[in-house]
Structure 1
Amino acid sequence: GIEPGQTTPDKKFTLSVVECLGSCGTGPMMQVNDDYYEQLTEDKLKRVLDDLRRDGTSTLKSGPFMFPQSVGK
């Protein structure tokens, strides 16, 4: 893993911490370039990162949502 402000050895990912992405009701979430990934679990995060490493896209792109979403959806 990497710490905030660090970049992975392959230079594909840099971890930045931000104050707010406007997604209080759908967190935890992350933004990768212009894409939002919301309602993340550890498993979903791993899948997104694996997808992005492979070809730069992920089918788990989800947002941004306009309203809070149920975690079960």
Structure 2
Amino acid sequence: MSLEDQAKQILNNFDGIPSDEFIKILTKIQPTLKSQITRDYLNGKIQGVLAMTDEAEKKKFCKTLKPYLDWYIQGNA
């Protein structure tokens, strides 16, 4: 399955996807982002999620990062 297909699958079934799977895909998408500032910002957010221990909090935070998947799918990364 391509990275784009994986991103679409996560967006279509966000509530059913574990936060670790979401973060794994974001980590794969991160190098494709055009701006170094955006890559660095996203890296900080990813590290913040990885430091969390509560799955509910991770999921809530991941929800705020969904636009990165949208950008990637639309080809604007």
Q: Which has the higher helix share?
A: 2
Q: TM-score, normalised by structure 1?
A: 0.33
Q: TM-score, normalised by structure 2?
A: 0.32
- Max Rg structure: 1
Q: Which has the higher strand share?
A: 1
Higher relative contact order, structure no. (Cα contacts within 8 Å, ≥ 6 residues apart):
2
